[in-house]
Amino acid sequence: MGKRSDGYHDLFTLMCPVGLYDTVTITFTGSGINAFCTDPSVPNDESNLAVRAARLFLNRRSGLGKENPEGIDILIEKQIPVGAGLGGGSSNAAAVLLGLNRHFGRPFQKNKLLEMGLSIGADVPFFIFGKPALARGVGEKLKRYHGLSPYAVVLVFPGFSVSTAGVFRDLNLGLTTCERKINNNTFIRDGFKAERHLCNDLETVTASRYKEVNEAKAALLREGAIGSLMTGSGPSVFGLFPGKKKAESAAVALSKPGRWKVFCADMIV
């Protein structure tokens, strides 16, 4: 979170892609747009963001006077847990837009793909952008951020989902603390420091409802994380580690059958 010099609030989020991902395969066959997923809880209708992305792309392409294929099959091999707040659906939609654009000879420039992505979901433009970024607005205003060190990341998914809309509804902007904690100028000039800059005002809402958020954070810190924070509106939590060996050791220690899903990943900087 930041504050503009003219006194108006200008919220920002530092976003960074990590190496935990689903695999999306597109084939041109049959008729219609069909989605198949290795996780049966993922829908295959229009509520699947990958399906929406394919339909939007083809509609825009037909607007250029191009003939579209009769059918597209989208296979999603899930690694990102459903409902974890880790952008699984949004990243799949971005992958479909980028993949179709590449397949058809790049009829759309990146700014058009970002526009399409935003109409599907607020996080989709970031996954099209594909680099660490300061995100403003609802996530569509992205500026490349170069101040990140390549920490090793341990992600902990407590095993339940939360309502993003409900978290934002209950956020009391008068009680937010990140704006007071983070100075925009030093943050941008000196780079991100895990010990100083980890802050998420949404965490206060989700953690007040689910004790697992603070439990996961505390566990990560006990295992040697430099810092720990909830992702977005939650419920997943991440810990930043100085090296991969420490991160892998922590992931093993925290992997308890039937409790948490734990993943090790690299930051893509």
- Domains with residue ranges and CATH for the chain: 23-129 (3.30.230.10), 147-266 (3.30.70.890)
Residue 9 banded pLDDT, cuts 50, 70, 90:
very low
Taking the C-alpha atoms of residue 224 and residue 58, their distance in angstroms, rounded to an integer, is 48
pLDDT tens digits for 202-246? 888 888 888 999 999 999 999 999 999 999 888 999 999 999 999
Q: Reply yes or no on whether the pLDDT at 150 is more than 50.
A: yes
CA atoms within 13 A of residue 143's CA, in its CB half-sphere = 7
DSSP state, residue 18: B
- How far apart CA 211 and CA 215 sit, in angstroms, is 6
More confident residue, 240 or 164: 240
Backbone angles phi and psi of 27, in degrees to 5: -125, 150
CB-neighbour burial class of residue 159 (10 A; exposed 0-12, middle 13-18, buried 19+): middle
The residue written with tokens 């993922």 in the block is 42
Residue 262 β-bridge partners = 156
How many whole angstroms separate alpha carbon 80 and alpha carbon 21?
Answer: 6
Cα dihedral 13/18/22/27 (nearest 10): 90
Q: Are 3 and 41 in contact (CB under 8 A)?
A: no
pLDDT score of 164: 78
CA-based nearest residue to 142, from 163, 159, 170, 117: 117
Flag the least confident range among 43-57, 117-131, 133-147, 167-181: 167-181
> How do residues 36-45 score in pLDDT, each as one tens digit?
999 999 998 8
Task: Flag whether pLDDT at 116 surpasses 90.
Answer: yes
Q: Residue 172: which pLDDT band, with cuts at 50, 70 and 90?
A: low
